Amino acid sequence: MNYATIKYCDIANGEGVRTSLFVSGCRRHCPNCFNAVAWDFHYGQPFTREVRNQILESLAPEYINGLSLLGGEPLEPENQRALLPFLKSVKVLYPHKTVWCYTGNSYEREVLQPGPGRCEVTDELLQYIDVLVDGDFVQEKYDISLRFRGSSNQRIIDLNKSRAAGRTVLWQDDPIFADHKM
């Protein structure tokens, strides 16, 4: 797997201060994608053991809330296979830190059902993800006032609560932000 970039101390891609890994490779090609350069699976740098260790080290400080996975498309099968052992390490070392994952795939239609967001490791990978932001970016639904997503069709799904409830449960933002109007 290659990665396009890593952002340390990121506050835009999930709750709190995070390390964000932007993987390379995406077959979706959403119009006006903010990171179209990362569609190419060969773009960027190889995700080596050294890079993995740097990210793990970056998660150590108390003020870091967790890891966010973006792309490209983290749920491309090739990326899932590479991310699974990495996420296992993240959760062993930092069980109280959250993992957010951004995907263009629909959770119910393409991640849970046969489709482009599924492969032999999907179910196990999902166990290490706390919050899933799903849905293609849609320019006509772009809304700068939305937290942690680009267009209003995208959802923020609390996977821990969804697993417990046996149905999709949306993530609830802190009330101080939930009613924020620009």
Give the CATH number for residue 78.
3.20.20.70
Where residue 181 falls among pLDDT bands split at 50, 70, 90?
low
Evaluate if residue 90 carries a pLDDT over 80.
yes
Domain that includes residue 167, residue range: 2-178
Domains in the chain: how many in total? 1
Neighbours of 85 (CB within 10 A): 11
Contact 103, 134 (CB under 8 A): yes
Mean pLDDT score, 140-153: 92
- Residue 177 confidence (pLDDT): 67
Q: Quickly tell me which residue has 């923020």 as its tokens.
A: 156
Q: Which of 99, 77, 67, 100 is nearest to 25 (CA)?
A: 77
Q: Which of 173, 88, 172, 167 is nearest to 126 (CA)?
A: 88
Mean pLDDT score, 93-109: 96
- Residue 32 confidence (pLDDT): 82
Evaluate if residue 156 carries a pLDDT over 70.
yes
Where residue 182 falls among pLDDT bands split at 50, 70, 90?
very low
- Residue 62 confidence (pLDDT): 97
- Residue 98 confidence (pLDDT): 98
- Residue 176 confidence (pLDDT): 65
Q: Which of 100, 18, 82, 17 is nearest to 46 (CA)?
A: 82
Mean pLDDT score, 57-82: 97
What does pLDDT average to over the chain?
94
